[in-house]
Structure 1
C-alpha cells in the first residue's frame, strides 16, 4: 500500500486530536475557575459554608468521574499511557467507542475538581483512541494500526503541552520496545504531532504553557546540577514506589469496603484546599511558574513539596481519569526551588539561578520517574522556552536517570502496565474458579 493514504490519515488524526485536546484543555481551565468563583462571588459564601460547599462540589465531581470510569470504561482510569503501550504490544485493546467519551468527560470532571492530576494522560489516551477509530475505518491492523496508535498518542501529548518535538521523542524513547519502527510509521508520528500542534496553536495560542526566563549559568556552577540530578533520581525512585504502594492500598481498601470511600475523602479534601491551600491542588503548570516568582522561604517550599507529593499520590490512587506528567513537573519545580534556596543560604548564586534549578529539576524528575531522559530534556525546554539552560537541564536529567537506575528503579508506565495485566489475570482466575 502507498504511504500517501497512511500519512494523510495520520495528519487527519493529528488535526482531530488537536481539536479535542484544545477543547479538553480549555474546558478544564474554564470549569476549574468557574465553580469556585460561583461559590465565592456568585453565591457570596464565606468561611465554613464556603469550605463545606466547595468540599461537596469537588467530591461530587470526583465521584461522577469515577462512576463513569468504573461503569463504562475501566481502562480509562488513570493516565492511559500504559494502556496505549499495552495495545502497541498486543496485550491490551483500545475500545475507542467507550474510551473516547468517558476519558473526555471523566477527565474533565476529575481535573476540574482540583485534583492533582495532569491533562496529558487523558489527551494521549484520547489521541490513541481517535487513531484506533481511524484504523478501524481503514481496516488497518498489525504494524499499520500500532504505528497509528503511536501517532495518535504523540498528537495527544503535542496537544496537551504544545510540545510536538517532545511528543515525537516520547514515542521513540518511551515506547521503544513497542513501537513498530519504520520510515512509514515514524513519518506518521511526526506528521500527526505537527498537525496537532498547528491546530492547538491556532485554537489556544502559541505561547509556551510554562514560559520562564532563565539566564545562562556560569560553568563553575554546573557541578551543582549533578548533585541536583542525584537528589531527583532518589526522589523519582521514591515517587514511583509510593505511587504503586498507594494504588495497591487504596484498591485493598476498596475491595474491603467500597471503591468510592477513599475518592470521596480525597474529593472533600481537595474542595477545601482549593480555597485554603490552592498550591496543593490542580495539575500545577501555572503553580510552577508562580512559585519561581514568589521567592518563598525554604520552610514554605518544603511544605509545598510534601503537600503536593501527598495529594498527587492520593489523587492518582482514586482511579479517576488523569495523568501524572504535570504533577511531576510541578513537584520537580518546587524541589528545584528548595535546592536553590538551600544553596543560597551558603553561597552567592548567579542571577536567576533559582529559576534555572527549577527548570533543570523538571527534566531530572521526569527523566527518573518516566525513564525517558531525552524526552524530559526536550519537553522542559519546549514548555518553558528557556533554551539558555539546555546544558544544566541535560546534566540534571541524565544524572537523575543514572541514580534512578542504580537504585533499581523502573519506568512508572512499565510498572503500571505490568500491574494492570497482573490484576486482569487475577480477576480471570478468580472468575474461573
Structure 2
C-alpha cells in the first residue's frame, strides 16, 4: 500500500526569489526603523521625571517606572513567546539547523513591544537582537505565505536576519558577513541564497537610510596611526581575547543564576530588582543604563580620567550581565561595543602613563577595541572588522583593527572560548530537552561544503516547543 504524500512546493525562479528577499528587506528596514525611533522616544521618560519630580522622590518614581516596564516586558515574553527572550540570534541559528521553529505570529509582536518596554526602561541591551529576530520572523511569514521549500525558506530567513542587523546599525555589509560567518554551520550556502542575503540587507539599508539618514551611527574622527603603534593594538587584542572569554562565561553564569532564583522564588524577582536598580542609576549614573550608542560618542569625545573609565567598565560589565539575565528581548551587540570603547580608552590612558602616544591614540584604541571584543565573544573577526568600519567611518584604522580583531580571536581560541551564540543555543536546547547535533550531521542543513543537502523542498514543520 502506497502512503500518499503531499506534493513538494515548487521552487520559485531566481528572479522571483530575489523579489521575495527585496520585499522582506524593505519590510524589515521599515519595522526596524520604526522600532528604533519608538525606543528613542520612550527612553526620554527619565529626563522628564528628573525635570518634573522634585528631590528624592525622583528616585522612587524612576525605580517604580523602570521596574514596571521591565516586569511588563518579562510577563509578555513568558506569557506569549518564551523564545523571544534575549537576543534571538541563537533561535535563528537553531531554526536554520532545523532544531527550532520561528513562531512568527507570536515572536514578532512580543519582540517589538517587549523590546520597546525593555530598552525604553534603560536596560543595558541592544536593539539589534530584536530587529534580527523580527527580521527572521518576517521572513518566516513570507516563506509560509508563498510556500517556499526548506532550503529557500532558510535562505530567506537568513536574509531577513541580515536585514534586521542592517536596520539596527545601518551596516549592510557587516550584516551580510554576519550571516555568512556566524551561521556558517547552518546557512544553506548557494548562489541564490547568498544573493538573497545581499539583496535583503541592501534593501533594509536603503529603507533605513531613507528614514534615518546615511551617516554611520557612531561616526568617530580618528587620525592615522603610525606603524610603530601597531604592537600596542596586538597587546590590546590579547587583553580583549581574555575579556571576551570571561564575558561569555559570566553571561552564561548570570543566566543560570537567574534561572535558579526563578525556580526557587519567582521569575519576576530578578527583573524587578534589576528594573529598580536601572531606575536609580538613570539619575545617579546614566552612563550605566541604555544600549550605549550615545555613551560611545560621549566617551570618545571627552577626555575622561583613568579612574572614571575604570568605573564605567565595571558598571557596564555588571549591568550588561544583570540586564540580559532578566529574560527580556534585547541584544548584546550594542553593550559589547560600549564596553569595548571604555576598555580601549582605559587601555590607552594606562599606556600613556608609560610611553608617549601620538595624538588620538586612545580614541583609536577605543575603535579597534569594538571589533576586538566582538571577535572574542561572537568569534566572528571578519564581521567585527567590517562592523567597526561601517559604524564609525574610521576606515583609516583598518590595519590596527585587523591586528586587534585577529589577535583577540586567536587568544580566545587558545583559551578554549566558544562563540556566545553557539553556547546560548546549546543552553536553550538543553533546557527544552534537545541536544545539539554534531557538525555535519544529517540534522544540520547548510554549511560551506553542503550546497544542496537531502530534502531541499521539505517545509519545516511548525512543531510546538516542548513545555510551551
Deviation at 1:177, TM superposition (A): 0.4
Is the aligned partner of 1:38 residue 2:48?
Answer: yes
**Does residue 257 in structure 1 map to residue 265 in structure 2?**
yes
Matched, 1:20 2:9: no
Q: Which runs of 5+ in 2 are unaligned?
A: 1-11, 436-463
- Would you say 1:159 and 2:167 are equivalent positions? yes
2:40 is equivalent to residue 29 of structure 1: yes
Aligned to 1:337: 345
Residue by residue, what CA displacement relative to the aligned partner does 1:38-89 show, whole Å, maximum 9, x if unpaired?
A: 3123xx2133101110000000000000000000000000000000000000
2:294: which partner in 1?
Answer: 286
For residues 235-250 of structure 1, the aligned pairs below 5 Å read 235-250=243-258
2:108 counterpart (100, 113, 116):
100
Tell me, in whole angstroms, the C-alpha distance in 2 between the residues paired with 1:404 and 1:289: 28
Query: Could you say which residue in structure 2 is the equivalent of 1:204?
Result: 212
State whether structure 2 residue 233 is matched by structure 1 residue 221. no
Mapping for residues 11-410 of structure 1, pairs under 5 Å:
11-33=22-44, 35-41=45-51, 44-410=52-418
How far did residue 347 of structure 1 move? 1.7
Q: What's the counterpart of residue 448 of structure 2? A: none
1:9 aligned residue: 20
**TM value normalised by structure 1:** 0.97
Who is 2:7 aligned against?
none
RMSD: 1.4
Deviation beyond 4 Å, 4+ runs, structure 1 = none
Q: Map Cα deviations across residues 98-152 of structure 1 (whole Å, 9 max, x no partner).
A: 0000000000100010000000000000000000000000101310000000000
1:192-230 superposed Cα distances (whole Å, 9 cap, x missing partner): 000000000000111211000011100011000110000
Q: Is the 8 A contact 2:50 2:283 kept in 1?
A: no
Separation of aligned partners in 1, 2:395 and 2:67? 41
Q: Counterparts of 2:27 and 2:63 in 1: how far apart (Å)?
A: 35
Larger Rg: 2
Whole-angstrom distance in 1 between the partners of 2:186 and 2:88 = 15
Distance of 1:200 and 1:150 partners within structure 2:
18
Which one has a larger percent helix, Structure 1 or Structure 2? 1
SS in 1 for 2:60: helix
In the TM superposition, residue 426 of structure 1 has moved relative to its aligned partner by 7.7
Could you tell me whether the CA contact under 8 Å between 2:375 and 2:409 is conserved in 1? yes
What displacement does 1:37 show? Answer: 2.9
